[in-house]
Amino acid sequence: MLRRLFTPLKIKDLEIRNRIVMPAFGLAYTPERKVSQKLLDFYQARAQGGCGLIIVGGVGIDFVGGGPMMLGIDDDSFIPGYEKLAEVVHRHGAKLFLQLFHAGRYQFSFLIGQKAVAPSPVKSRYTKEEPRELSKEEILEIEDKFAQAALRAKKAGADGVELIGSAGYLINQFLSPITNQRTDEYGGSFENRARFVLETIEKIREKVGDDYIVTIRMSGNDFMPGGNDNEIMSEYARLFVEKGLDAVNVTGGWHETRVPQLPMAVPPGAFTYLALGIKRKVSVPVFTANRINHPLQAERILQEGWADAVCIGRAQIADPEWANKAKEGRFDEIRPCVGCMQGCMDRLFSGKPVECLANPLAGYEGERKIEPAKGKKKVVVVGAGPGGCESAITLKKRGYEVELWEESDKIGGQIHLAGTSPGRGDFLRLIDFYQHELARLGVKVKLNKKATAQEIEKGGFDRVIVASGASPIKPNIPGIDQDFVHQAWEVLKGEVELGEKVAVLGGGATGVETAIYIASQGTISAETLKFLFLNQAETPEKLYELCTKGTHQVAILEMLPKIGPDLGVATRWVLLQELKRLGVKTITNAKVVEIKPGEVIYEVEGEKKSESADSVVLALGSVPNQELAEELKKAEIEFEMVGDAKEPRKIIDAIHEGFLVASKL
Ligand SMILES: Cc1cc2nc3c(=O)[nH]c(=O)nc-3n(C[C@H](O)[C@H](O)[C@H](O)COP(=O)(O)O)c2cc1C
């Protein structure tokens, strides 16, 4: 069925076993800037899992370019690490490229102890810092370092190198008129802006010869006002290929762009058209990337001719065996990347090693194991939210006899709520995955089953896991018991009808997502938008209005000075942008003191104010459901706690805890 995906890809004389590429990921697994065991274990699993080509990096060509969190390749002492990596990747039949990296003005001065360098001193919105302009001598030195790095990669046995010319890093900075304001031979015109890359390619070729594979990763469109679009990037790609590059890996825009690149709000394969734009201009293989998750989607991209290979990035973090499972048609067994970024980008931005919400083993391949069960054999897991489901499947894999009891009529718990808001629907893929795995593994799932200590005792279980989740808080605010006040959970479940004006109390993640859900009601669908656009039925301005102006006016009242403080950095700005577009009013430092028919009374710095509201929605956090735990304690039945039942946290915490508790039982 996946005819194209599993057809080998040839780049010059290099044959790659399929068209599945693991693109470069800064993982923060290498505190010494050298290949570590953690990194080897991570990539071994992906090579073993059937991936065709693994691109490792960014590999900083020097400390200023790469900084302390990335891999380095500054001198020959780095080579042995890459030799090991090449050996591991090759042993499992995959090919290896190293991505040669220089951040330019995207480097943070606190990381390198000096100002970042760039073609011109143009402040970046990403670092909020102004870099230092490179002298001509320094530019030549960086070109030389790229060439030396390529030679070291070759000596180490990597099959090729990829230059990073995407995401707004140094190469992008030379190519863009926004960041390259030089008046010498490296700036001022299309040709001059290309000079740095062309000279770099020439120097690399001098070192590694004509046969070695040298490629580039490019932003298909910078998505920066006044920057390079797909047309111009295609022209640059053509120029670079003529100069001697062997493939072009096309992704989306810069870190600074206001167009989201990674979160689940990005439709699957949304940027594949950028690869096609470049593919039309070059004769070498073109890769495409971003939010390609399902094997059939990947196959269709190839069959329809958008690109020659697909980068399956986070989806291979979520499931190292993505390729093998795809090949064997075991699509439902693939742990899905939902684009939440909780484990990857959010952690990387806070300087922590990459993990994955959907896969508790990612980054722990050498440490976390699923060992066969010892001794006691029969377990009940109470609560089929993410933590309970993960515990149940882990225990079953270990050989336990497992029952999963759920009080409601379906598994998934709060994932249903997380996946309700527009652009958050991918969360629901986790439920599909667990549903399938529970059935495949033979976990006995009992729905509509309320657990009591007595029932558990009757079941004769050797071990008990309590994953009974949490319930929403209802604080003691005067007027809170009126019939126009609802919990966000009820709203997201579609259980209530709301008035025109809605006040959401609480601006944390749930409040923000609920506000987006409500404010989107009455906006047109993607299909209607396409229909109206193609038939030129409305002006672009009117279409924008139809996409953003719904049937409710929504206000969020938050006690803290900030909206969404519990949202990850990589997602927060996207959701705040969405609130703004939908016209959601945000009121911070607001302490709600009373709810009256038609209005909410709140205080800001002691001053009483009022916000009119026909309906009030509570998103004020949750409390653990611990009645069962208390009962079990009284009955002296031993148990373990998992997820929100212990302490309300994020889905990633519940899944990881579910795994860890089950793997140690
Ligand atoms: C945590 C994280 C680190 C990344 N680091 C790099 C990098 O160093 N170099 C690069 O070219 N892309 C990097 N990317 C982008 C990925 O290679 C990939 O293009 C992106 O995740 C979109 O593809 P996906 O939706 O298949 O994951 C990174 C992405 C994430 C989430």
Nearest CA, atom 31, ligand 1: 345
Q: Where are the alpha helices (DSSP H) in 254-338?
A: 272-279, 295-303, 314-318, 322-327
How many alpha carbons fall within 13 Å on the CB side of residue 469? 21
Tokens of 314: 């986070």
For the cut 90, the answer to whether the pLDDT of residue 471 exceeds it is yes
CA of 24 to the centre of ligand 1 (A): 6
- Tell me the per-residue pLDDT of 175-203, one tens digit each, with 9 for 90 and over: 999 999 999 999 999 999 999 999 999 99
Residue 498 confidence class, pLDDT cut points 50, 70, 90: very high
How much is the pLDDT for 494?
Answer: 92
Regarding the beta carbon of 464 and ligand 1, being less than 6 Å apart is answered: no
Please report, rounded to a whole number, the percentage of residues in the chain having pLDDT higher than 70: 100
d(CA 349, CA 569): 7
In sequence order, the 6+-apart residues with CB closer than 8 A to the CB of 632 are: 453, 456, 464, 466, 638, 639
CA of 261 to the centre of ligand 1 (A): 10
CB burial readout 651-664, b (16+ within 10 A) else e = bbbbbbbbbbbbbe
Regarding the beta carbon of 291 and ligand 1, being less than 6 Å apart is answered: yes
* Phi-psi category of residue 224: left, alpha or beta, with phi > 0 → left and psi -120 to 50 → alpha: beta
How much is the pLDDT for 374?
Answer: 80
Regarding the beta carbon of 21 and ligand 1, being less than 6 Å apart is answered: no
> Rg of the Cα trace of the chain?
27
How much is the pLDDT for 203?
Answer: 98
Nearest CA, atom 13, ligand 1: 25
How much is the pLDDT for 621?
Answer: 94
User: CA 431, 263, 347 angle in degrees (round to 5)?
Assistant: 90
- Tell me the per-residue pLDDT of 560-611, one tens digit each, with 9 for 90 and over: 999 999 998 889 999 999 999 999 999 999 999 999 999 999 999 999 999 9
Regarding the beta carbon of 348 and ligand 1, being less than 6 Å apart is answered: yes
Regarding the beta carbon of 233 and ligand 1, being less than 6 Å apart is answered: no
- Tell me the per-residue pLDDT of 509-538, one tens digit each, with 9 for 90 and over: 999 999 999 999 999 999 999 999 999 999
* Phi-psi category of residue 636: left, alpha or beta, with phi > 0 → left and psi -120 to 50 → alpha: left
* Ligand 1: nearest atom to the Cα of 292: 26
- Tell me the per-residue pLDDT of 294-321, one tens digit each, with 9 for 90 and over: 999 999 999 999 999 999 999 999 999 9
CA of 56 to the centre of ligand 1 (A): 11
- Tell me the per-residue pLDDT of 241-265, one tens digit each, with 9 for 90 and over: 999 999 999 999 999 999 999 999 9
Concatenate the DSSP letters of all residues of 325-346 into one string: HHHTT-GGGSPPP-S--TTTHH
* Phi-psi category of residue 331: left, alpha or beta, with phi > 0 → left and psi -120 to 50 → alpha: alpha
Average pLDDT over all residues of the chain: 97
* Better-scored residue on pLDDT, 376 or 243: 243
* Ligand 1: nearest atom to the Cα of 162: 11
CA of 418 to the centre of ligand 1 (A): 24
Query: Quick one: which of 67, 503, 9 has its CA closest to 285?
Result: 9
Regarding the beta carbon of 313 and ligand 1, being less than 6 Å apart is answered: yes
Nearest CA, atom 11, ligand 1: 24
CA of 495 to the centre of ligand 1 (A): 39
pTM above 0.85, yes or no: yes
What type of residue sits at position 238?
R
What number is the average pLDDT over the span 122-132? 95
What number is the average pLDDT over the span 604-632? 96
* Ligand 1: nearest atom to the Cα of 347: 1
For the cut 90, the answer to whether the pLDDT of residue 1 exceeds it is no
For the cut 80, the answer to whether the pLDDT of residue 376 exceeds it is no
- Tell me the per-residue pLDDT of 319-332, one tens digit each, with 9 for 90 and over: 999 999 999 999 99
CA of 23 to the centre of ligand 1 (A): 7
CA of 98 to the centre of ligand 1 (A): 14
Regarding the beta carbon of 102 and ligand 1, being less than 6 Å apart is answered: no
What number is the average pLDDT over the span 603-632? 96
Which residue has 């805890």 as its token pair? 657
d(CA 298, CA 137): 44
For the cut 80, the answer to whether the pLDDT of residue 18 exceeds it is yes
Regarding the beta carbon of 294 and ligand 1, being less than 6 Å apart is answered: no
Regarding the beta carbon of 314 and ligand 1, being less than 6 Å apart is answered: yes
d(CA 383, CA 430): 16
Nearest CA, atom 6, ligand 1: 25
How much is the pLDDT for 549?
Answer: 97
Tokens of 121: 């001193």
Largest CA distance in the chain: 83
Give the H/E segment covering residue 543: helix 540-548
- Tell me the per-residue pLDDT of 394-422, one tens digit each, with 9 for 90 and over: 999 999 999 999 999 999 999 999 999 99
CA of 31 to the centre of ligand 1 (A): 19
For the cut 90, the answer to whether the pLDDT of residue 432 exceeds it is yes
For the cut 90, the answer to whether the pLDDT of residue 375 exceeds it is no
3-state secondary structure (DSSP) of residue 110? helix
Nearest CA, atom 9, ligand 1: 24
What number is the average pLDDT over the span 447-454? 96
3-state secondary structure (DSSP) of residue 139? helix
Regarding the beta carbon of 251 and ligand 1, being less than 6 Å apart is answered: yes
Substitution candidate for ligand 1 out of 99, 262, 312, 346 with most atoms within 8 A of CB: 262
How many alpha carbons fall within 13 Å on the CB side of residue 480? 14
In sequence order, the 6+-apart residues with CB closer than 8 A to the CB of 183 are: none
Regarding the beta carbon of 26 and ligand 1, being less than 6 Å apart is answered: yes
In sequence order, the 6+-apart residues with CB closer than 8 A to the CB of 428 are: 412, 415, 416, 419
* Ligand 1: nearest atom to the Cα of 57: 8
What number is the average pLDDT over the span 142-156? 98
Instruction: Please give the C-alpha separations between residue 45 and each of 18, 38, 39, 159, 243, in angstroms, as whole numbers.
Output: 17, 11, 10, 19, 36
d(CA 648, CA 94): 41
d(CA 562, CA 589): 8
d(CA 358, CA 390): 9
Residue 377 confidence class, pLDDT cut points 50, 70, 90: confident
Sort 98 into a burial class: Cβ within 10 Å, 0-12 / 13-18 / 19+.
buried
In sequence order, the 6+-apart residues with CB closer than 8 A to the CB of 257 are: 168, 222, 223, 224
* Phi-psi category of residue 583: left, alpha or beta, with phi > 0 → left and psi -120 to 50 → alpha: left
d(CA 93, CA 89): 7
Regarding the beta carbon of 288 and ligand 1, being less than 6 Å apart is answered: no
